[in-house]
Chain A
Amino acid sequence: MDSAEVFPVRKSVPWRTLDTEALLVDVKGGLLYPLNSVGARIWDLCDGARSVDEIVGVLAVEFEAPETTIRADAIEFIERLAGAKLVSIERRRKGETR
């Protein structure tokens, strides 16, 4: 995962935030994914414009944890979201910045 990759959420994914947590539904599988507050924040930051570096930067300000831990967890989590087809992994277009 590099700084040129961004992660738009799939528009067809129903989701809802409750307090600081979130619930996503994989409609194809009929499954519901509950997310804790960190997962919900990463989901929120998967806006199709931010790279993993930018997402980690925001999380490091908002949550108390070593940045290396946050990075590893964020990458693993985004890969799991992509594996469940809840987000896409796309290349940022040339010249595009957030």
Chain B
Amino acid sequence: MADRTPRIEVAGLVFRVAGLAAAGRVWVEGRYAPFLSRRAPAFGVHVRASERYRPGRTPRPSATWTNGRFALASHPSRADGDLARRRVAFRAGPGPAFNPDLFRLLCSFLLMQKGGVLLHASAVVDRGRAWVFSGPSGSGKTTIAGLAGDRPVLNDETIALRPGARGWDACATPFYGSGGPAMARVNERAPLRGLCFLRKADRFGHRRLSPSEAVARAFPEVMLPKRDGRVTERLLATLAAVAAAVPAWELEFAPDTALWSYLDGLG
């Protein structure tokens, strides 16, 4: 009999999500539809709706990692994993049985283990190569994704960067922002053309960033808590490798489709 347990693929990482009740499975299959996969899973996730609700102040998300075991928390859910056994136990609190914020945190942590990084960014593929636009909330990530026209949008909120066959690739993720599910319709990847750190303006402008400036801009946008020394060491190494290989700019932009020809001129 065929295995009906959902498998979700994000940036080449395949998760088999077991332990869901029928309603939870239907929800997962709808929420992650473009990212469902038949490939062999790299990680088994077992979900248990057993976390007791604790009233009081909402704790900050956390990520800790010791001797091959890791613990991730995104209130009210937490995940405990074993890297060698490739198993993760999800304990869900009130809310969706498969908390998307915690799943994003899990993807971010495991992507880091593979030498990649999950960035607070949108990305648009233009002539086969991806422009990645990063910045804090309100900086224009979704606005730019909305200017894509016929160009594929990889996401308006969360983009995975990971080493590809020839340099760095930008990968789609299912973790969309204010643009909604329409911004996470394809599960594709494309070679990274450039990184732009956004600043809203009434006209176009740009400044090339040095590698250290690019790392400093990207670091706060990495979707992983940065209060664990080993996690932070790994992130710095990954961002330094990206910044050494991929050009980065500070980009002022007006919400106009002339953006794409402006980007062509960045060199």
Contact = CB atoms under 8 A, between A and B. Distances in A.
Interface in B242-262: 243-244
A15 B236 CA distance: 8
Interface in A1-36: 12, 14-16, 18-19, 21-23, 25, 27-28, 30, 32, 34
A14 B212 contact: no
A22 B212 contact: yes
B15 to A, nearest CB: 27
Nearest to A33: B216
B210 interface: yes
Nearest to B214: A18
Nearest to B218: A32
Contact of A34 (B213, B225, B227, B232): B213
A27 B215 contact: no
Contacts of A21: 210, 212
B236 A16 contact: yes
Binding site of A, secondary structure by majority: helix, strand, loop or mixed? strand
**Top 5 A-B pairs ranked by shortest CB distance?**
A21-B212, A18-B212, A30-B226, A34-B216, A14-B232
Interface residues of A, number: 15
Binding site of B, secondary structure by majority: helix, strand, loop or mixed? helix
Given A14-B232, A18-B215, A32-B219, A27 B227 contact: yes
Interface string A62-80: 0000000000000000000
A14 B229 contact: yes
B210 A19 contact: yes
17 contacts: A14-B236, A16-B237, A18-B210, A18-B215, A18-B244, A19-B211, A21-B212, A23-B215, A23-B216, A23-B219, A23-B236, A25-B219, A27-B228, A27-B229, A30-B226, A30-B227, A32-B216
Contact of B240 (A12, A18, A30): A18
A22 B211 CA distance: 10
Given A19-B211, A32-B215, 6 more contacts: A14-B229, A18-B244, A19-B212, A21-B210, A25-B226, A25-B236
